[in-house]
Amino acid sequence: MTKPAELTPTDTHVSSDQHTMTELLEIQRAAFLRDGIPDAKTRIDRIARLAALLLDHSDEIAQALTADFGSRPRELSLMADIAGCMLDLAHQRRSVAKWMKETKTSKVMGVAGFKQSIRHEPLGVVGIMGPWNFPLQLTIVPAGSAFAAGNRVLIRPSSITAKTTDVIAKYAPDYFSIEEFAVITSRHGSGSDFAKLKVDHMFFTGSPEVGASVASEAGKNLVPVTLELGGKNPVVVDTDADLTKAANLVADARLVNGGQVCLCPDYVFVPEAKHDEFIDKVIARWTANLPTIVDNPQFTATINEKNYNRIVGLIDDAVSLGATKRQVIPAGEQLPDAGRRKIAPTILTGVKAGMKIEEDEVFGPVLTVYPYRNLSEAINRIAANPHPLTMYWCGNRNERFERLADGTRSGAINGNDFALHLFGPELPFGGVGRSGMGGYHGKTGFDTFSHRRAVAFSTMPLTVATMMSPPFAKRDTKLADGQIKMWRKLNARALKKARKK
Instruction: Note the pLDDT tens digit of each residue in 350-399.
Output: 999 999 999 999 999 999 999 999 999 999 999 999 999 999 999 999 99
Spot the catalytic one: 179, 217, 262, 394. 262
Q: Indicate the length of the chain as a whole number.
A: 501
> Please, which residues have CB within 8 angstroms of residue 482's CB and are 6 or more apart in sequence?
none
Considering the chain, what is the average pLDDT of its residues?
94
Instruction: Find all residues with CB under 8 Å of 272, minimum gap 6, and list them.
Output: 371, 372, 373
CA distance 72 to 59: 13
Per-residue pLDDT tens for 407-458? 999 999 999 999 999 988 889 999 999 999 999 999 999 999 999 999 988 8
User: What is the model's pLDDT at position 111?
Assistant: 63
CA distance 460 to 496: 35
Bridge partners for 153 per DSSP: 126, 181
Q: How confident is the model at residue 105 (pLDDT cuts 50, 70, 90)?
A: confident
228 is catalytic: yes
* 271 vs 285: CA distance, rounded Å: 20
Residue 3 has pLDDT above 60, yes or no: no
Amino acid symbol at 477? T
How many angstroms separate the CA atoms of 400 and 477, rounded? 56
How far apart, in whole angstroms, are the C-alpha atoms of residue 377 and residue 188?
50
C-alpha to C-alpha distance for 232 and 262, rounded to whole angstroms: 8
Q: Mark whether 394 is an active-site residue.
A: no
Identity at 23, one-letter amino acid code: E
- pLDDT at residue 114, rounded to an integer: 80
Torsion of CA 210, 211, 216, 219, to 10 degrees: 150
Strand order in the sheet with 233-237: 324-327, 346-349, 366-372, 265-271, 233-237, 391-394, 413-415
Q: Any residues with CB less than 8 A from the CB of 462 and at least 6 apart, and which?
A: none
Q: Is the pLDDT of residue 264 over 80?
A: yes
- How many CA atoms lie within 13 Å of 126's alpha carbon, on the beta-carbon side? 31
C-beta of residue 301 within 8 angstroms of C-beta of residue 71: yes
DSSP 330-345: -TT--SSBTTTTB---
DSSP for 355-392, written as a single string: SGGGTS---SSEEEEEEESSHHHHHHHHHHSPPPS-EE
Judge contact between 204 and 223, C-beta under 8 A: no
Task: Please check whether residue 81 is in contact with residue 137, taking contact to mean a CB–CB distance below 8 angstroms.
Answer: yes
**Candidate from 147-156, 279-288, 444-453, 491-500 with smallest mean pLDDT:** 491-500
Choosing from 217, 228, 358, 361, the catalytic residue is: 228
Q: What is each CA distance from 152 to 123, 141, 167, 229, in whole angstroms? A: 9, 14, 21, 24
pLDDT higher than threshold 90 for residue 262: yes
CB 369 within 8 A of CB 270: yes
pTM, whole model, 2 decimals? 0.93
Beta-strand pair 125-129/413-415: unpaired
Are 96 and 148 contacting, i.e. CB atoms less than 8 angstroms apart?
Answer: yes
Beta bridge partners of 451: 121
Do 148 and 38 meet the contact criterion of CB atoms below 8 Å apart? Answer: no
Contact 363, 307 (CB under 8 A): yes
